[in-house]
Amino acid sequence: MIGVGHRAWGWDRAMAVGQTPMQPGLLSSTVSFVEGRIAPNSIYAVLHRECRTLFPDEMFADLFAGDGRRSVPPMIVAVVMVLQRLEGLSDREAVDRFAFDVRWKYAAGGLDFDHPGFVHTVLVDMRARLAASDRPDRIFERTVEVASQAGLIGRRRVLDSAPIYDAVATQDTVTLIRSAIRGLLRACDR
């Protein structure tokens, strides 16, 4: 049964969970291109090594139907959502970065250079599915769990779940000004 909130978003559970590609192309994989060019402890390298363990497709199975049109693999969407938050990007900017920045495809499991991107509404849909689920904070919880095990909690804020899970968030004027000032200060530091 589709709940009222589900109808408001225009989706139902008739979409099946997409499967993450497991065999990248021999000559078209981002792995050989990126490895050696980025630090092994960079977020891209860590996500590349751990993304299948962090965000296995099964972790999101309850959000999708058993059959129907396949979704963008949830692991890929989760990696994009994490990188989106860390880099402070809008949905459109994040999917653009995924489509054209080889580090993002590398972080999402070493995908091929020509792995198809997706539209920004996939991120909106995933947040809506998560919000309507029994475990809406699963990406945040899993990221915090791993960061804690790695000793990163307490040294640096790893992730704030609010922007990832609030599908209808609109920033007020003060928040927008504050973000613009932070961005300006970061640019001046360089």
Provide the domain limits for residue 34.
Answer: 4-189
Which three-class secondary structure state does DSSP give residue 122?
helix
Of the segments 91-105, 151-165, 169-183, which one has the largest average pLDDT value? 91-105
d(CA 44, CA 101): 11
DSSP assignment, residue 69? E
Please state the domain count of the chain: 1
Q: What is each CA distance from 11 to 2, 132, 134, 159, 174, in whole angstroms?
A: 9, 11, 17, 27, 33
> What per-residue confidence (pLDDT) applies to 173?
60
d(CA 25, CA 9): 36
Q: Which is more confident, 72 or 182?
A: 72
pLDDT digits (tens, 9 = 90+) for 110-167: 888 888 899 999 999 999 999 999 999 999 888 888 777 766 665 444 455 555 445 4
Query: pTM (2 decimals)?
Result: 0.67
Radius of gyration of the chain (CA): 17
Q: What is each CA distance from 15 to 72, 82, 176, in whole angstroms?
A: 10, 23, 35
Q: What is each CA distance from 9 to 100, 125, 166, in whole angstroms?
A: 28, 8, 13
**Above 60 in pLDDT, residue 169?**
no
> What per-residue confidence (pLDDT) applies to 11?
46
Residue 105 CB partners (closer than 8 Å, separation 6+): 30, 98, 111, 112, 113, 115
Which three-class secondary structure state does DSSP give residue 10?
coil
State the average pLDDT over residues 33-55: 87
Question: What average pLDDT is seen over the chain?
Answer: 77
d(CA 105, CA 32): 12
